[in-house]
Amino acid sequence: MNFFEELQPKGHLQIVKLFPSGQEEILLDEKNVIVSGFGVGLSYLFTLSGSQRITDYQLERFQFGVCAVQAVSSSVFKLDYPISSIAHYGSDTKLLLVSATQVRNGTNFPNQVFGIIPHKNVTRVSNTSVRYTIVLDERTLNDLGNYGYPGGTDAALREIGLFMKNPRGDASTASFLCAYKQFSSIKKTSDFSLVFRWIITL
């Protein structure tokens, strides 16, 4: 049994619709899948064969996708149909977005869009658990109907992934998918914010 199997990391995701009045509606409150990329990233850390910067092992990046049809298992290494343009997040979004490389099953794919989780949104909730909070405010990811994914124009949020920043220590940041969750379609509008509270436990 390797160290990743011994750790048996777990994840739990809550998705909340938040209205300007302060009213909350819980849309999802379920476990998520920890995928093999997490184990690969940790192996670089524990064998001292990857990045020498501890910050490169942080789960500080995320992606949203508009299609979710793949079978979910620990072998998932990418989102089905990630949002590939910063512009689709909206010109007034408060999110910090970057275009960088993603490692998919050992192969580098450049020019992938990631959101960055601010340090203030990363909270230690126990000795072994950390909560990552991602907020899509009223100005973010609205009007995805023209996105043009394979299902036509009826685009909605259907999947999310959490990524380790750069465990190999590449000169150009290359991130690994570590946790993944599919969910029922959510059509984001300017009438509400979406709050994703994601707890990872080792």
Give the domain range for residue 138.
13-195
7 within a domain of the structure (yes/no): no
58 within a domain of the structure (yes/no): yes
202 within a domain of the structure (yes/no): no
Q: What is the mean pLDDT of the chain?
A: 91
200 within a domain of the structure (yes/no): no
Other Cβ atoms less than 10 A from the Cβ of 42: the count is 22
- For residues 43-56, give the mean pLDDT: 94
19 within a domain of the structure (yes/no): yes
123 within a domain of the structure (yes/no): yes
pTM equals 0.93
Q: How many domains is the chain partitioned into structurally? A: 1
190 within a domain of the structure (yes/no): yes
Predicted confidence at residue 1, as pLDDT, reads 42
3 within a domain of the structure (yes/no): no
